[in-house]
Amino acid sequence: MGSTIRRARRGRIRCPGAHPSEDRGSGAYSMRMLSFLVFLSAAVGVFPSPAPAEVFVRDTVSPENREVILSAETKGIFFVRGGELVEFFIDGKSIGKNLSGGDGVALKRFVPPSIGLYKIRVRSGSDEDEGLLLTLRRTTPMIFIDVEGSLFEKPYIEKAKSGSTRAVRTIRRKHSVIYLQTGRRSVRALKSWLSENRFPAAPVLSWRRGKVFEDMAEQKMRIKAVVGRPEIIESAKSYKPLAFSFDGTDDAEVVRDWEDVLKGL
Task: Please give the class, per CATH, of domain 142-264.
Answer: alpha beta
- Minimal CA–CA distance to 143: which of 65, 258, 57? 258
Measured in whole angstroms, the distance separating CA 254 from the mean position of its chain's CA atoms is 32
pLDDT of residue 154: 85
Instruction: State the DSSP code for 37.
Output: H
pLDDT of residue 26: 54
Cβ proximity of 98 and 88 under 8 Å: yes
Ranges of residues in the chain whose predicted pLDDT is under 70? 1-52
Cα 132-70-189 angle, rounded to 5 deg: 45
pTM: 0.79
pLDDT of residue 32: 63
**Phi and psi of 149, rounded to 5°?**
-90, -10
In this structure, whether the domain defined by 54-136 belongs to CATH 2.60.40.10 is answered with yes
3-class DSSP state for residue 191?
A: helix
pLDDT of residue 158: 87
- Domain(s) of CATH 3.40.50.1000: residues in the chain: 142-264
- 16 CB-side CA count, 13 A: 0
Cβ proximity of 142 and 136 under 8 Å: yes
- Domain(s) of CATH 2.60.40.10: residues in the chain: 54-136
| List of E strands, 38-175 | 54-57, 60-63, 68-75, 85-90, 93-99, 105-110, 116-124, 127-136, 142-146, 152-154, 157-160
3-class DSSP state for residue 255?
A: coil
- Minimal CA–CA distance to 14: which of 5, 4, 24? 24
